[in-house]
Chain A
Amino acid sequence: MMKCRKCGEKAAVNMRQHKLALCKQHYLEWVPEQAERFIKKYRMFTPEERILVAVSGGKDSLSLWDILIRLGYQADGLYISLGIDEGLGYSRQSQALCETFAARHGLKLHVVDVAREYGYTIPALAEKSRRGQGKPCAVCGLTKRHEMNRIARDWGYDVLATGHNLDDEAAVLFGNTLAWAGDYLRRQGPVLPAGPGLARKVKPLCRFYEREMAAYAFLRGIEYIYDECPFAQGATSLYYKAILNRMENERPGLKLTFYLNFLEARQAGLFGPASGAADEELHPCPGCGQPTSAPGLCSFCRLVQK
């Protein structure tokens, strides 16, 4: 029987990558302790700052919110309703789970409905855009980034936190490495500094395995949306995750080493000066005021005005 390293009771979670097994109680203490360590190490935010947590109703973002509150940070939630139904009521269910979580913990949740704001749901926006014929993921990502930035700016939040875990980050890194996408590699990291009109972006879960976050949500009794977004099937990120997990299975710790060695290389300047949002010349979009790299409307305003 696998035993908890701290108390010798039966272990609930075994992490081969850390050579560490813990019982339920010690696992639920270990996760926020580690999160706090990463928040401080990467200078993500301080207890005085106001954090906006982007919540989707999934295990990672709701667990992140839970962890930040347990650690005593000032964290409000933001749910962006994308209008994804596909006969499953996917967005409606996700929103209900976020609302239940917020109500149960007495937390403030902002809800933005994309269709109400702009007249189109994400599938409808994807239909009318050349960018997303049949596959709304690119349009969805663009919209979410735009709305997260807008709400953080309009409501005066210092920091925008997302629930990206290690598997998410390793999959993106893997894709960017295969493409030698230097600019993306230079900008990927636990913190993207604030720019003019843009809040700092942070990923406090970036060193937690996806399995660790699922175990946290399960053991904390957090109700989250278990079903995959109906559009995620066949997503490239899932393909990269599957490959990385095959390698992880043979070599425990590989995903973490891949990511941490990347961060070190990036810090050492392998991809150029390690900087963030403010390193290229940006212009305010005449439509929404958010910074954009080319003069004229930003990609989001072009998308909704078509």
Chain B
Amino acid sequence: MSVKLILREREYELRPGMTLLSCLQKLDILPETVLATRDGELIEEDEILQDGQVIKLVAVISGG
């Protein structure tokens, strides 16, 4: 039973049933710095993540 979050090359496994926001907080990722996508669609912070889902996080901050 887990949800997988992927940010760049790193993968994180979390327990299902939490909101995306709670997951990001647990991983110490600021919501402001990523977009969360599932099956090519954007999802928002209040979405409850279910078992087996894979969430790809797109980093939004660039430097230079």
- A127 lies within 8 A of chain B by Cβ: no
Closest to B45 in A: A14
B1-46 with Cβ < 8 A to chain A: 30-35, 37, 41-42, 44-46
Chain B residues engaging chain A, CB cutoff 8 angstroms: 30-35, 37, 41-42, 44-47, 58-64
B44 touches A58 (CB 8 A): no
Give Cα A235–Cα B64 distance, bound, in whole angstroms: 7
Of the listed stretches A38-46, A70-78, A187-195, A214-222, chain B binds A214-222
- A169 lies within 8 A of chain B by Cβ: no
Contact of A210 among B37, B44, B47, B60 (CB under 8 A): B60
A238 touches B30 (CB 8 A): no
Interface size on A, residues (CB 8 A): 37
Chain A, interface SS category: helix
A248 touches B32 (CB 8 A): yes
Shortest Cβ distance from residue B29 to the other chain A in the assembled complex, whole angstroms: 10
A181-238 with Cβ < 8 A to chain B: 209-211, 213-215, 218-219, 226, 228-229, 231-233, 235, 237-238
Give Cα A138–Cα B59 distance, bound, in whole angstroms: 25
Shortest Cβ distance from residue B39 to the other chain A in the assembled complex, whole angstroms: 13
Contact of A211 among B32, B46, B47 (CB under 8 A): B32
Given A2-B46, A218-B37, A219-B42, the answer on whether A238 and B58 have CB atoms closer than 8 Å is: no
A232 touches B62 (CB 8 A): yes
B32 touches A215 (CB 8 A): no
Total number of A-B contacts with CB less than 8 angstroms? 73
Shortest Cβ distance from residue B53 to the other chain A in the assembled complex, whole angstroms: 16
A12 contacts which chain B residues (CB < 8 A)? 41-42, 44
B63 touches A228 (CB 8 A): yes
- A241 lies within 8 A of chain B by Cβ: yes
Given A213-B60, A245-B61, 16 additional A-B pairs, CB 8 A: A1-B47, A2-B44, A2-B45, A12-B42, A58-B62, A60-B62, A210-B61, A218-B35, A228-B62, A228-B63, A229-B62, A233-B63, A237-B63, A237-B64, A241-B63, A245-B32
Per-residue interface assignment for chain A, residues 11 to 25, with 1 indicating a CB less than 8 Å from any chain B CB and 0 otherwise: 111100000010010
Give Cα A11–Cα B20 distance, bound, in whole angstroms: 14
Closest to B25 in A: A249
Given A167-B61, A218-B58, the answer on whether A211 and B44 have CB atoms closer than 8 Å is: no
B35 touches A249 (CB 8 A): no
- A137 lies within 8 A of chain B by Cβ: yes
Contact of B63 among A214, A232, A249 (CB under 8 A): A232
Contact of A218 among B30, B42, B47, B64 (CB under 8 A): B42
Give Cα A233–Cα B8 distance, bound, in whole angstroms: 15
Given A12-B44, A214-B35, the answer on whether A246 and B30 have CB atoms closer than 8 Å is: yes
Shortest Cβ distance from residue B38 to the other chain A in the assembled complex, whole angstroms: 12
A241 touches B35 (CB 8 A): no
B64 touches A137 (CB 8 A): yes
Give Cα A1–Cα B19 distance, bound, in whole angstroms: 11
Give Cα A249–Cα B45 distance, bound, in whole angstroms: 13
